[in-house]
Amino acid sequence: MEISSKQVKELREKTGAGMLDCKSALVEAKGDMEQAIVILRKKGLASAQKKAARIAAEGMIGHYIHQGGKLGVLVEVNCETDFAARSADFQALVKDIGMHIAAQNPLYVRREEVPAEEIEKEKEIYKEQARGSGKPEHIIDKIAEGKLESYYQMVCLYDQAFVKDPSQTVGQLITHLISKIGENVRVRRFARFKTGEGLEKRSTDLAGDVRDALGE
């Protein structure tokens, strides 16, 4: 099948893959653009997994401010070289991740960071819910594990559906950039700030401390 240079250029713009790789994918997909993207992503994922083991100590700290300065995020995203950190693709990713954190409020970067005691607490809740709904005892553990996946998707940045494109997770978004720029990319840490958050509780606690000091 004849593949035009226009098709190759379009696929390259969509994926960032090399010209030869784009042409090869289009030939394999018989000219189907979406299928060619899938083929390239599958190949990119394989190479990205190898790159993900490499040390990433460069990068940048990005920020995102929303609601007229009432909501803000700081996020550290690492890559392997300063050259990659200065690239438009990397900086766009950092901005997107900051915006995502502001919108979705994850509690952890990856599921590996969730404390073991937190996981056990969630599993016990799911087990009790399953028992309460009359589920057989022999499938309760399996039900709890399945619900735990949903928990990770709520609280872990990498497992959350990307706010601008829910068809992919933040982890998949990062993996796609790894395959595109040829370097390991990882979110190291983040902090989310919202004006007034927790102040009422702290004020109450402070009032209690004052009363205790006065012997009331």
Domain ranges of the chain: 1-51, 55-111+159-216, 115-153
Query: Does the domain spanning 115-153 belong to CATH 1.10.286.20?
Result: yes
Q: Write the class of the CATH domain 1-51.
A: mainly alpha
Tens digits of pLDDT across the chain (216 residues): 688 888 888 887 676 666 777 888 899 988 988 888 888 777 765 455 556 667 677 899 999 998 789 999 999 999 999 999 999 999 999 999 999 999 999 999 999 999 999 999 998 898 888 888 888 888 888 888 888 889 999 999 999 999 999 988 999 899 889 888 888 899 999 999 998 887 765 555 544 554 454 454
In order of 63, 102, 178, 182, the CA distances from 71 in angstroms are 11, 7, 29, 33
The 3-state DSSP class for residue 66 equals strand
Of the CA atoms within 13 Å of residue 64, those in its CB half-sphere come to 21
Q: pTM of the prediction? A: 0.67
Hey, what CATH topology would domain 55-111+159-216 get?
Tetrahydropterin Synthase; Chain A (3.30.479)
**H or E stretch covering 65:** strand 58-66
Q: What are phi and psi of 135, to 5 degrees?
A: -70, 145
Amino acid letter, residue 169: T
- Which tokens go with 184? 């390991």
